[in-house]
Amino acid sequence: MKPFHYSRHKLTGAERWRERFFEILPGFSSWSILIGLVALSFFQPVLAALIIILFDFYWLLRLFYLTLFLMIAYVRLYLEGDTNWPERIRKIDFLRQKQIDHNQSVRGWKARISNWVFRGELKKLHTAGTLPPLSKDIHHLVIVPIYKESREVVEPGVKSYAEGSFPAKQILIVLAVEERASEEVKRAAEDLRRKYQSVFFDFLISIHPDGVEGEARVKGANATCAARLSQKYLNEHKIPAENVIVSCFDADTVVSASYFACLTYSFMVCPQRERASFQPIPVYHNNIWDVPGFARILEMGASFFQLTEATHPDRLVTFSSHSMSFKALVDVDFWPIDMVSDDSAIFWKAFIHYEGDYRAVPMYVTVSMDVVDAGSWWQTSVNVYKQKRRWAWGVENFPIVMRGFLRSSNISIFERFRHGFKLFEGHLAWATWPFILGVMGWLPVFFAGQEFSDSVIYYTAPRIASLIFHLASLSLVTTIVLSLLLLPKNKKKHSVFRYFLHALEWLAIPVVAILFSAIPALDAQTRLMFAKYMEFWVTDKRRA
Amino acid sequence: MTKILRRIVFFFFVAVFFIGAPKIVFYALGYSYRHGSESGLVKSGLVYLSTTPPGATVYVGGRRYRDATPAIIRDLLPGNYPIRLVLKDYEAWAQTVPVEPAKSSVLGKILLHPKKPDWSMRLSDQYEDIVLVPDTKYFLLKKKNQADAVQIYDWKEKKAKPFEDDPAKVQSFFKAKRSVDDTIFLLDENGKFSSGRGGEVIVKQSVLGFLYDKKNHKTVIWTKNAIGLVEKIKPKKELGVLQGSWSVQWVFKQGQRISQAFWAHDGACILFQDQSKVLMLELETFGAPATYELLETKYQSHIFYSDESGEVFYLDKKSGNLMSLEVIPKWKVLEIPFTLLQEKEKEAKVARV
């Protein structure tokens, strides 16, 4: 059987029709839900009110469920905050060398819990019998695609890779520059190479030629070009792909000091390390205080979503900056070169390639990126909208994944249904929930005729909705507290008043969710529905 | 977190949903569980009470209800409930309210009457009459046999100024304004009241005036002895011809010489003048509309009322001074909750008199 073609292009016959059907399905479903609810509110207000009440109740339970796991994930992030990852790596090396580590002393309750988790992971690794290579043999390949980003945006990231607790001499940096990038960007890349080459194992610059046949103007094409160059380089240096972990970072990604150590540990301790991606918690702290409030809470929301997802490894999908086994990347023939959402696409491509034997492993360590900032409030709003639409364009994976699932016989029906439904429901919720919660809920009352306004439900429905929203505020308060706890502590000192204002910003979430989450998602799904495919749009990021 | 624990939490939430959802649906639809020997699900109704001013204590069948107005009394089994509202410095309000299964009985604009009316003297001169200038913030005050026989009174600013123009022009202006309502209804010199478009005769004769409430699409008409509400009904076809799309519900018939009427309290009341008495007719009721006297005005003089100010302006019975009485305490009118903003005016079941 021919390997699955993870692309919407060059399809023929039934495959093309299947692709179009699944391209239409999310947008059609979202619009049907929204229009259907409006029509139902007008013609059958009692039924509409009942549906909305049930939905509100379902949403409340989902919210509590997510908040519970958000708290658990935050506690885990907090517990692992002081973990000595190099020490852990050393212990796994001991295991590999069949030596006994006599240094067992653990102090403090945080360390005890963390150590308990560690022992469990070691036990799993031991049971699986797939011992990892020694840490000294493991190399990191970091690919940073660049197009418009200035040196001020890129350098803090490169610096953070060098200053971590994992030896920089085992890290190979590749700045993947687009050929069409300006001379200034190319010069900056060269300057960085000169400055940092001696710090790392090596520092390469790849130039991705413009207009290659079969490629779209997307980040994945640039990253793939760099990965192919790196493959040659690693072969020349006789470094096996099995011992390489590749990280594809946005240009503004600044990793925490323990990132590469934690990644190395996660790679070593994972029994199926060659069939795994490693997902850190993305936070947007680089310029968090310099952007409008709505952009701040949106990115906080994205971080929280990823934190919650981290507690469900069996359904975790890679997002934004992440890492993976280089062998897996080579096996699946690198990132898609014609898709915008390369971050999640690479997971699904590997998942289908390995017939479901692929996973995303959560890492309780952060990578920090920039919040979109275009200078002015209005331009930032426009750019945030475009960025969210690009994220929502991840819906382009749905038709391809569904085709892959239909073709696959080795992935269980349950797994196919579970992943397919989650992907579909996730995009549907993204586009419709804020509308249903913020607008649709009021429509039956708005359109109320005499008959409906005489009914009990006309009075009970708003009461029930009000109770549900009051209960939901418990989640909001939890979210506000966690957002304050997650904020960077050492960069700038801000007054209590500033923190108070930040907390108040969360009250705008219903409006922000409609304008910068639901509408961009609906926009993306509608474009896919009408086959108006998107290309990559580089987000403006500035440093003050 | 182990997979098992995650599953336990997941199924716990699923169970909560499947147990809670039917309960919520039943509650929303007005079902409640009846305990005791006849236990089981019963379809209940509710009563919604909102007063001006708010905060009145609610007694249902003699028992104090936990919430003050505005209040929703739910889970009521079908039947008639004596309801009493009590607020300090206001007259108690009492009525029997019928409750039907899965229906709401709405009394959303109950006007409580103060024990001590709030009169104010506005102008101390002696006036003969008040002349209305509709759709403006003015009315005219007429004096007898004086150089400045007419004054303009700004009822929003509560200020008077001399009117130097010819009073006849004022009358013509008054008539011109009336024509706005004439596009909907027509009233001829013989008191024939008919619809403006179809020309359907609604009342053949004796109608003295009418007032259309644009906001609530309600119309009140009055004759010498009666006050009626003009209602649109579904036309019936008899012998292939559409018959009667309008009807009049006479809600007050004991008048002596009714000369004026105004919509008050957002269409929930009618304020009218009968001879020298000014009365309020309350329509927000499930029984017969209640009428009570507000004041007495100077013989053969008119009054002015605007729902915007909530005050009725009149001439003192003895002195002829311009007085005002606050009928609707505007600062005490409750902001209607959002969910009720769009409420269609509940057509209170006003019994025919």
CATH of the domain at B249: 2.120.10
Contacts of A50 in chain B (CB under 8 A): 25, 28-29
The predicted model gives A379-396 an average pLDDT of 93
**Nearby residues of A477 by Cβ (< 8 Å), 6 or more positions away:** none
B196 plus B54 within the same structural domain: no
Contact assignment for A456 to B103 by CB distance below 8 Å: yes
| Amino acid A513: pLDDT | 92
Residue A491: pLDDT over 70: no
Mean pLDDT, residues B204-230: 89
* B chain contacts of residue A49, beta-carbon cutoff 8 Å: 28
Answer whether residue B303 is part of any domain: yes
- Distance to chain B for A453, nearest Cα, Å: 7
Same domain for B222 and B318?
yes
Q: Which residues of A touch B45 (CB under 8 A)?
A: 456
Residue in this structure with the two tokens 């992943």, named with its chain if needed: A419
Q: What is the pLDDT of residue B138?
A: 86
pLDDT of residue B239: 57
DSSP state of A398: H
Average pLDDT of the segment spanning A226-236: 96
Q: Which of A145-159, A243-257, A358-372, B32-46 has the lowest mean pLDDT?
A: B32-46
A64: nearest CA partner in chain B = B13
Query: Rg of the Cα trace of chain A?
Result: 24
Average model confidence (pLDDT) across chain A? 89
**Buried b / exposed e across A235-274, counting CB within 10 Å, b at 16+?**
eeeebebbbbbbbbbbbbbbbbebbbbbbbbbbbbbbebb
Compute the distance between CA of residue B259 and CA of residue B317 in angstroms, rounded to an integer.
17
Q: Are residues B294 and B174 in the same domain?
A: yes
- Asked if A460's CB is within 8 angstroms of B74's CB, the reply is yes
Which residue is closest to A76 within chain B, CA to CA? B1
Length of chain B: 353
**Alpha-carbon distance values, B20 to B15, B23, B26, B101 (Å):** 8, 5, 10, 23
- B39 belongs to a structural domain: no
Phi, psi angle pair for A528, to nearest 5°: -65, -40
Distance from the A456 Cα atom to the nearest Cα atom in chain B, whole angstroms: 5
B78 and B186 inside one domain? no
Q: State how far the Cα of B301 lies from the Cα of B317, in Å rounded to an integer.
A: 9
pLDDT at B345 over 50: no
Is residue B275 assigned to a domain?
Answer: yes
User: How many CA atoms lie less than 13 Å away from A252 in the CB half-sphere?
Assistant: 23
DSSP reduced 3-state for A322: strand
pLDDT over threshold 50, residue B350: no
Residue B206, pLDDT above cutoff 80: yes
* Same-domain pairing of B162 and B22: no
In terms of average pLDDT, the best of A125-134, A176-185, A278-287, B287-296 is A176-185
The answer to whether the Cα torsion of A424, A429, A430, A432 is positive or negative is positive
Mean pLDDT of A87-112: 75
CA dihedral (B267, B268, B270, B271) positive or negative: negative
CA separation (Å) from A295 to A282, A289, A361, A520, B128?
15, 10, 28, 14, 68
Q: Which residues of B touch A117 (CB under 8 A)?
A: none
Same domain, B158 and B109: no
A12-30, pLDDT tens digit by residue?
Answer: 889 999 999 999 999 999 9
Nearest to A54 among B25, B48, B74 (CB): B25
How high is the pLDDT of residue A106?
Answer: 67
CA distance B246 to chain A (A): 19
Task: Name the residue facing B28 among A68, A448, A464 (closest C-beta).
Answer: A464
Hey, are the CB atoms on A61 and B27 less than 8 Å from each other?
no
pLDDT, residue B176, reads 47
**Domain membership flag for residue B333:** no
State whether B182 and B232 are in the same domain.
yes
Higher pLDDT, A93 or A489: A93
Mean pLDDT of B296-317: 91
Least confident of A138-147, A535-544, B252-261: A535-544
Nearest to A448 among B6, B44, B343 (CB): B343
pLDDT at residue B212 tops 90: no
pLDDT mean over B281-296:
88
A-chain residues near B339 (CB < 8 A): 442, 445, 462
Residue A274 reports pLDDT greater than 70: yes
Determine the pLDDT at residue A538: 57
- Min Cα distance B68 → chain A (Å) is 16
* Domain assignment of residue B40, yes or no: no
Radius of gyration for the alpha carbons in chain B, expressed in angstroms and rounded:
26
pLDDT at A116: 86
CB-based contact A311 B46, cutoff 8 Å: no
Phi, psi for residue B325 in degrees, rounded to 5: -130, 125
Q: How far apart are the first and last CA of chain B?
A: 73
Which chain A positions have a beta carbon within 8 Å of B27's beta carbon? 460, 464
Which pLDDT score is estimated for B234?
66
pLDDT score, position B38:
67
Q: Give the confidence band of B238 by pLDDT, cuts at 50, 70, 90.
A: low
Contact between chains at A57 and B24 (C-beta distance less than 8 A): yes
Distance from C-alpha of A200 to C-alpha of A202, rounded to nearest angstrom: 5
Tens-place pLDDT, residues B43-61 = 888 899 999 999 999 999 8
Token code pair at residue B235: 């036309």
Residue type, A543: R
- Nearest by CB to A57, from B17, B29, B343: name it: B17
Q: Minimal Cα–Cα distance from B24 to chain A, Å? A: 8
Peptide bond into A132 cis (omega under 30): no
CB A436 within 8 A of CB A27: no
Mean pLDDT, rounded, for A266-283: 93
CB A337 within 8 A of CB A252: no
Question: What six digits make up the tokens of B135?
Answer: 């759709």
Q: Which residues of B touch A445 (CB under 8 A)?
A: 339, 342
| pLDDT at res. B42 | 82
CB-based contact A318:A360 (threshold 8 Å)? yes
Question: Does A457 sit within 8 Å of B30, measured CB to CB?
Answer: yes
Report if residue B41 sits inside a domain. Answer: no
Number of domains chain B contains: 3
Q: Beta-carbon neighbour count of residue A33 at 10 Å?
A: 18
- Alpha carbon of B88 to those of A499, B83, B118, B262: distances in Å? 45, 17, 15, 28
Q: Which of A416, A392, A395, A428 is nearest to A55 (CA)?
A: A428
Question: Cα–Cα–Cα angle for A298, A302, A305, nearest 5°?
Answer: 135
Residue A29 distance to chain B (closest CA, Å): 24
- Comparing CB atoms, the residue among A50, A68, A450 nearest residue B28 is A50
Q: Give yes or no for residue A542 having a pLDDT over 70.
A: no
pLDDT, residue B352, reads 33
- pLDDT recorded at residue B96: 92
* pLDDT tens-digit series, residues B65-78: 988 999 989 888 88
With contact defined as beta carbons under 8 Å apart, do A356 and A350 qualify? no
Question: CB–CB of B104 and A58 under 8 A?
Answer: no
- What tokens appear for B141 in the block? 């005050």
User: What is the overall mean pLDDT for chain B?
Assistant: 82
The residue in chain A having the minimum alpha-carbon distance to the alpha carbon of residue B21 is A54
Residue B75, C-beta contacts closer than 8 angstroms, at least 6 positions apart = B32, B44, B46
| pLDDT higher than threshold 70 for residue A512 | yes
A102 burial type by CB count under 10 A (0-12 exposed, 13-18 middle, 19+ buried) = exposed
Can you count the helices (H) and strands (E) in chain B? 3, 30
Lowest mean pLDDT among A136-150, A216-230, A416-430, A458-472: A458-472
Mean pLDDT of A459-469: 87
Nearest CA in chain B to A58: B17
Is there a domain that residue B196 lies in?
yes
Nearest CB to B45: which of A64, A314, A456?
Answer: A456
DSSP A540: P
CA A369 to chain centre: 12
Range of the domain at B144: 119-328
Instruction: Give chain A's contact residues with B (Cβ, < 8 Å).
Output: 49-50, 53-54, 57-58, 61-62, 64-65, 68-69, 72, 311-312, 314, 442, 445-446, 448-450, 453-464
Of the candidates B48, B42, B61, the one whose C-alpha atom is nearest the C-alpha of residue B101 is B42
> B145 or B219, which is more confident?
B219
Mean pLDDT on A186-196: 95
Asked if residue B77 and residue B24 are part of one domain, the reply reads no
Cβ-in-10-Å burial (0-12, 13-18, 19+) of A139 comes to buried
Residue in B closest to A55 by C-alpha: B21
Q: List, edge to edge, every strand of the sheet that includes B218-222.
A: B209-213, B218-222, B227-232, B246-252
Residue B76: what pLDDT?
86
For B340, which residue in chain A has the nearest alpha carbon? Answer: A445
Task: Please tell me whether residue A354 adopts helix, strand or coil conformation.
Answer: coil
Quote the DSSP letter at residue A442.
Answer: G
Asked if the Cβ–Cβ distance from A311 to B1 is below 8 Å, we say yes
CA torsion sign for B26, B27, B33, B34 is negative
What are the tokens at A314? 């069996």
Same domain, B131 and B233: yes
Chain B: nearest CA to A169, how far in angstroms? Answer: 35
> What is the per-residue pLDDT for A99?
59
Q: Is residue B215 within a helix (H) or strand (E), and if so which, with residue range? A: none
**Inside any domain, residue B308:** yes
B34 DSSP β-pair partners: B40
Task: List, in order, residues 6 or more apart from A403 with CB less than 8 Å away.
Answer: A4, A15, A18, A19, A22
Question: In this structure, are B26 and B103 located in the same domain?
Answer: no
Q: Which residues of A fall within a CB distance of 8 Å from B1?
A: 69, 72, 311
- Tell me, yes or no, whether B238 and B317 share the same domain: yes
Helix (H) or strand (E) holding A428, with range, is helix A413-438
CB A447 within 8 A of CB A42: yes
Cβ B308 vs Cβ B326: under 8 Å: no
pLDDT confidence of residue B161: 77
Other CB atoms within 10 A of residue B300 CB: 12
Three-class SS of residue B154?
A: strand
Based on the fold, state whether residues B155 and B174 are members of the same structural domain. Answer: yes
pTM tops 0.80: no
